[in-house]
Amino acid sequence: MENRDMIRMANQIAAYFEAYPRAEALTGIAGHIRNAWTPRMRQQLDEYIAGGAEDLSPLVTAAIAPKAKAKS
């Protein structure tokens, strides 16, 4: 998948959860990505976050970064 498509999709998920309390939003974003994205897509997102996460919603980064760091 192109990074721009991945970023758009992840940011759309974050936009949906923006109205939720922060902890609930982070859990919701992580859960949606874990349940709806393929392992390959999740790996690509982890690598993108590790590379600096340019243009990615801070909510997505906060929801996914702890998991990505644990893999390292």
7-40 confidence digits (pLDDT tens): 999 999 999 999 999 999 999 999 999 999 999 9
Give the C-alpha separation, 27 to 23, whole Å: 6
Q: Where are the domains of the chain?
A: 3-71
Q: What is the pLDDT of residue 72?
A: 45
What are the tens digits of pLDDT across the range 41-54? 999 999 999 999 88
